Structure 1
Amino acid sequence: MGTLSVNQSKLQKRLRRQAGEAVTDFNMIEDGDKVMVCLSGGKDSYTMLDVLLHLQKVAPIQFEIVAVNMDQKQPGFPEHVLPQYLQSIGVPYHIVEKDTYSVVMDKVPEGKTTCSLCSRLRRGTLYTFADEIGATKMALGHHRDDILETFFLNMFYGGTLKAMPPKLRADDGRNVVIRPLAYCSEKDIEAYSELQGFPIIPCNLCGSQENLQRKVVKEMLLEWERKTPGRTEIMFRALQNVMPSQLADRKLFDFENLRIDESAPSRFLDVMNL
């Protein structure tokens, strides 16, 4: 076995294990579920489909997978790539055609970031389609780094402590969103995608324009990880270890009625007995 194959095997096992742990920890997929896997044509969604197909084979439950891509009518979008790939691996799929490109170009002033509006329009269309085909879960390809970036974006620019939860019930109550790659790093996903040779489709809606705020946060996290390897994992662990009494949100903790406990033993006596 060559070096490439060894690396691929290690990556594959790690990604499959991490995705399996996330699915189990958050009870993302249940027996009889119909999982709509949202494919953008990027490295994250291809990897998500890959690990979910494996999980479907080895899991002790039965669930259905259907891939869905949204054709947003971007100029030059290679419409044949995803259907050919999905047919080659035998995965049932739907292509949802919705001209959100024209809407985004019309509504967003030139030079402004289009990602936010584009994402909202895409999400709304996919929610509706999931309901139409009877999907019980909608899988998105966000990974650990996406979740952390969103956390810091909301803290720095939005004044809220929130991220992307691994499992979410949409506001309409009719869709449950899952993120099976929640425990996976972008670095691993990128390496695995290259090794597997997935037919990547770049997003050209806005000329590969990046959300500048997210770019700043991403670079900050990468720099932290370079200086202190393992920091990203520690920060993600913090999202799973929240202590409301140590923050300042009066809705999460009853600070108003916090009083001394008259029945508690005196700590002075404990100190004297040392």
Structure 2
Amino acid sequence: MVEGSSARWLVCLSGGKDSYTLLAILIELKWRGLLPVDLLACNLDQGQPGFPATVLPKFLERMGVPHRIEYQDTYSIVVDKVPQGRTYCALCSRLRRGNLYRIAREEGCNAVVLGHHRDDILETFFMNLFHGGRLATMPPKLVNEEGDLFLYRPLAHVAEADCEKFAKAMNYPIIPCDLCGSQDGLQRQQVKQILDQWEKNSPGRRQVMFRALMNARPSHLLDPKLWDFAGLALKMDGASAGAPILRERDVAVEKGPSSGPEAQIDWQ
């Protein structure tokens, strides 16, 4: 994940359990000599009412972590632009991301590091599926549209429950994530409730679904941009005549509680 010998990362710190966990892991890896990068912690105070502006500066100073605290009142912009009754999250996120990219450039960083974990990635996948009509989620690594910054999510394989346990054990000063008052009824919360129920009914289901995101089969989906269905042909060499190149086999299905969520059926 480290690009170049002079890498400098902007580590985004919101004050939530995930970003505290992220920072702690990166500091530990750097201390052990396993992460040859300079780290700069950054908190973007977006002017949300009730935000405890002194919590993170005091924490970072006590930890001796290089940091930058930036104040940008994007909250007022969001309130002004978003119609009443609609969620603030989409516009708020875009404004936050733009400011973080700007700060990264000003600080000479080549990467922005975020604290999204496995459960965030799963929730985003199902939000795109249910509401966006597409198969997509947040990747662990990407390049921004301008092509000058990497974006990393080192906690991509970490369960939210593990972040919560770690943050509680470390007694971090947690800042609530619902200060804007726009959280009730959010699509993400609804998806989270669905996943919680699935996990309750079938323990381990989240991890099975997460592994599926690393095991895509374009030939068994419907997107012609990913698979040339029109170009499929039959083998016509004697005994193989009539055997299709694309065969229905090893299609993962759920057969029932006795077979487990990873049961397979062979159509041959």
TM-score by length of 1: 0.84
**RMSD between aligned alpha carbons?**
1.9
Query: Retained in 2: the 8 A contact 1:166–1:182?
Result: yes
Gaps of at least 5 residues in structure 2 are 244-268
8 A contact 1:68–1:95 mirrored in 2: yes
List 4+ stretches of structure 1 deviating above 6 A.
none
* C-alpha spacing 1:211/1:126, structure 2 compared with 1 (3 Å): farther
Shift, 1:179, TM fit: 0.4
Contact preservation (8 Å) 1:149, 1:218: yes
In structure 2, relative to structure 1, the CA distance for the partners of 1:260 and 1:110 (3 Å cut) is same
CA distance in 2, matches of 1:82, 1:264: 72
Partner of 1:20: none
How many residue pairs get matched? Answer: 243
- The 5-angstrom pairing of residues 170-209 of structure 1 reads 170-207=144-181, 209=183
Distance 1:54 1:75 in 2: 33
- State whether structure 2 residue 22 is matched by structure 1 residue 39: no
Q: Mind listing any 5+ residue stretches in structure 1 that lack a counterpart?
A: 1-26, 270-274
- SS at structure 2 position matched to 1:200: coil
Distance in 1 between residues matched to 2:80 and 2:203, nearest whole Å: 44
1 or 2, which has the higher helix percentage?
1
- Residue in 2 aligned with 1:77? 51
SS in 2 for 1:54: helix
1:108-137 CA distance string (max 9 Å, x none): 122221111111110111111111111111
When normalised by structure 2's length, the TM-score is 0.85
1:37/1:139 contact within 8 Å kept: yes
- AA partner of residue 10 (structure 2): M
**Which one scores higher on RCO, CA 8 angstroms, separation ≥ 6?**
1
Counterpart of 2:63, as a letter, is: I
Deviations 1:5-39 (A, max 9, x none): xxxxxxxxxxxxxxxxxxxxxx2565431011001
Deviation at 1:74, TM superposition (A): 2.0
